[in-house]
Chains A and B, each alone.
Chain A
């Protein structure tokens, strides 16, 4: 047993830290650290810098621009980015479609897509979920029918995150309606500019435009855009989801928020009192901190197991990271809301924030962040579904 990073790993961490400190846009970090919404340009700015450094897709196979990072290096990188309140490289590109194309794509697909996917010249959307196919993703109904050199796509995708920014979308579509559920599904790449596609915004609870519905009405897609073999899409999707396991718990984000909570709670209120001095608050804070520390070590245990065994098989324990990670994120947004109290009732930046000599320009987005973060236990396989996975895989129920 050995808790410390190796010398090389420590040196790597310092290198990442130094790069972030000198190269990363401070305005983006400010927004993230204040729970504000990022613009398209903010994501691009950060992603491009990392791309130039070779870090946007460092976990890809080396021949396609990867850097052969170990799982621990990947972990360190994620931690440092989150600690600095920066967005990770766009996950639709870096963690989802990129690795799928690299592993299963044709030579032409690799040449055409991998470089601009790595550099974010192409922004990808994820077209999996449908109105009738959420947790039960394999019941998806969008069809792709072969017609000469093309597929004709009809149907609807939904919850497409940042789909209004997307240049391309990777979709799961049904190519064999007679086959059993998972068997008749294919993985296809679609240019968002193709005639017949319509994107409609869905406004989420806090009032932002983050997700979309995407409609397909006789959308003709070149047959060469199908990835791998027809009707094997479910396997590729499983591979894709197994890639999500890294950093799924976003422990760095929770830690960063805890730092903010602490500093706000230590700021005196109008009567000179501090919430930090309230025994009940302090107990809640410390319990959450202990839970975060435990999860961090759980994550490291899982990582250490993976280090060396280069296996693509998803570790069911990552479901635990998803469950606890999302719960702890949510717990931190809850604590933040408690520190803010009723002064966070409005999403508007109010004149009153300028009163006194303290900085109150963090109150406007606290409640929005609490509302929005409820999604963490719903998407990416809901927490109930993660419990089902653990029930089966570990408990053998």
Chain B
């Protein structure tokens, strides 16, 4: 048993930490316009090899395990960098295992180099957090329907749609496709997102293997969990520092036992979240699909609950300061709140667990 990173991974971690903490400062979600120049940021991330890590060698990439991506995600979280990397990973892991189609190699090469960007457009309106609802449809290579909450500023989207006969297929669509209308909006955590309206949009089917899509989704969920863990780590530290420096009643807040214990609970929640995320990440490439799904849903549930507790307490223990836009922790709080509803909320994952067999064999 060994939970340590190997020396190569430690190196990657150092360079990612520097890249996100220093290099991507102007992209912090604490800044209103942090979604500006997101293409430059994606390009720089690609140059760091972050996109190559998502594609296997046979597709010209450097994929060896999920761990390298998870290392990057934790640094994204710590720095609060406004980069939708989990969604990108979702799309890339599908693309990596997709069927052959004309231009596939060139497309992947342009993504790895950062020349082109890709994301997913899977969510639909009024399905809460249940990604399983797909009303968008495909007929003879033509897509109709509406997708919501996709990340804006991508050259390509992977769109899921119901094909004739009811099976779900994954389609590749360029952002300037004819018949595609994009409504842009800004989220609470300053992501630039959009709703996509498809009116007879021609598209190429690249995959209809549910297992591939489920795998990629599980990969992205754990990536997102790691981002949350980085955020929780950061605000737990911020909070304990604040308690040491803020005085009330002539003493530092850290001298009040109830606050010490609360800060320790934040730490415990973060460590528990990390443990379950590590566990799930090690099962992502496992052949036992059932075990993987259970681990991933366990992880999202556990990390969701930790995210809620840690972010609420970070605000609480800062007092009034915690409520301000100027306090950086407030922006972590907002992102962590939205995180709980991304890629499946508690209800979604509890239901998914209920559907799996042998769930009680803990």
Residues of chain A whose beta carbon lies under 8 Å from any beta carbon of chain B:
129, 132, 134-136, 139, 158-159, 202-207, 211, 269-271, 273, 275, 278, 280-281, 334, 337-348, 350-352, 355-356, 358, 360, 367-368, 370-371, 374-375, 377-379, 382-384, 387
Q: How far is the CB of B61 from the nearest CB of chain A, in Å?
A: 30
The answer on a CB contact under 8 Å between B337 and A371 is yes
**Contact A382:B319 (CB < 8 A) given known A352-B146, A356-B126:** yes
Indicate which residue in B135, B191, B325, B341 contacts A205 across the interface (CB closer than 8 Å).
B325
CA distance A387 to B195 in the complex (A): 46
Indicate which residue in B133, B191, B316, B342 contacts A269 across the interface (CB closer than 8 Å).
B133
Q: Mark B324-351, 1 if CB is under 8 A from A, else 0.
A: 1110001001100110011001110011
The answer on a CB contact under 8 Å between A338 and B345 is yes
Indicate which residue in A136, A139, A206, A355 contacts B146 across the interface (CB closer than 8 Å).
A355
Q: How far is the CB of A316 from the nearest CB of chain B, in Å?
A: 18
Chain A residues lying within 8 Å of B247, measured Cβ to Cβ, are 132
- Asked if B123 CB lies within 8 Å of chain A CBs, one says yes
* Stretch with Cβ within 8 A of A (4 or more), from B7-15, B19-27, B75-83, B182-190: B182-190
Indicate which residue in B127, B128, B146, B320 contacts A134 across the interface (CB closer than 8 Å).
B320
Chain A residues lying within 8 Å of B316, measured Cβ to Cβ, are 374, 377-378, 382-383
Q: How far is the CB of A345 from the nearest CB of chain B, in Å?
A: 4
- Asked if B234 CB lies within 8 Å of chain A CBs, one says no
23 pairs across A/B with beta carbons < 8 Å? A135-B248, A139-B249, A158-B320, A204-B324, A205-B325, A205-B330, A280-B346, A281-B347, A342-B123, A342-B149, A345-B187, A345-B189, A347-B188, A367-B337, A368-B188, A371-B188, A371-B333, A371-B337, A375-B320, A378-B316, A378-B319, A378-B322, A382-B316
Besides A345-B149, A355-B126, 10 other A-B contacts (C-beta < 8 A): A136-B248, A202-B326, A203-B324, A204-B323, A269-B133, A278-B351, A342-B128, A342-B342, A348-B185, A371-B334
Count of interface residues, chain B, beta-carbon cutoff 8 Å: 52
CA distance A203 to B30 in the complex (A): 13
Chain A residues lying within 8 Å of B193, measured Cβ to Cβ, are 345-346
Chain A residues lying within 8 Å of B347, measured Cβ to Cβ, are 275, 278, 280-281, 338
The answer on a CB contact under 8 Å between B128 and A341 is yes
The answer on a CB contact under 8 Å between A159 and B320 is yes
Chain A residues lying within 8 Å of B128, measured Cβ to Cβ, are 269, 275, 339-343
Q: How far is the CB of B360 from the nearest CB of chain A, in Å?
A: 17
The answer on a CB contact under 8 Å between A270 and B337 is no
The answer on a CB contact under 8 Å between B185 and A346 is yes
Chain B residues lying within 8 Å of A350, measured Cβ to Cβ, are 183, 185, 195
The answer on a CB contact under 8 Å between B341 and A348 is no
Q: Mark B301-324, 1 if CB is under 8 A from A, else 0.
A: 000000010001001100110111
**Contact A269:B338 (CB < 8 A) given known A345-B149, A374-B316:** no
CA distance A142 to B179 in the complex (A): 64
Indicate which residue in A202, A270, A382 contacts B126 across the interface (CB closer than 8 Å).
A270
B325's closest neighbor in chain A, by CB? A203
The answer on a CB contact under 8 Å between A355 and B325 is no
Indicate which residue in B125, B312, B345, B350 contacts A374 across the interface (CB closer than 8 Å).
B312
A138's closest neighbor in chain B, by CB? B249
Chain B residues lying within 8 Å of A129, measured Cβ to Cβ, are 320
Interface centre among B123, B130, B146, B191 (most CB of A within 10 A): B130
Q: How far is the CB of A394 from the nearest CB of chain B, in Å?
A: 16
- Asked if B259 CB lies within 8 Å of chain A CBs, one says yes
- Asked if B258 CB lies within 8 Å of chain A CBs, one says yes
CA distance A22 to B121 in the complex (A): 48
Indicate which residue in A202, A356, A367 contacts B324 across the interface (CB closer than 8 Å).
A202
- Asked if B281 CB lies within 8 Å of chain A CBs, one says no
- Asked if B129 CB lies within 8 Å of chain A CBs, one says yes
Chain A residues lying within 8 Å of B187, measured Cβ to Cβ, are 345-346
CA distance A159 to B146 in the complex (A): 43
A204's closest neighbor in chain B, by CB? B323
Indicate which residue in A134, A207, A345 contacts B248 across the interface (CB closer than 8 Å).
A134
Q: How far is the CB of A50 from the nearest CB of chain B, in Å?
A: 29
- Asked if B148 CB lies within 8 Å of chain A CBs, one says yes
The answer on a CB contact under 8 Å between B323 and A375 is yes
Chain B residues lying within 8 Å of A207, measured Cβ to Cβ, are 325
B191's closest neighbor in chain A, by CB? A345
- Asked if B124 CB lies within 8 Å of chain A CBs, one says yes
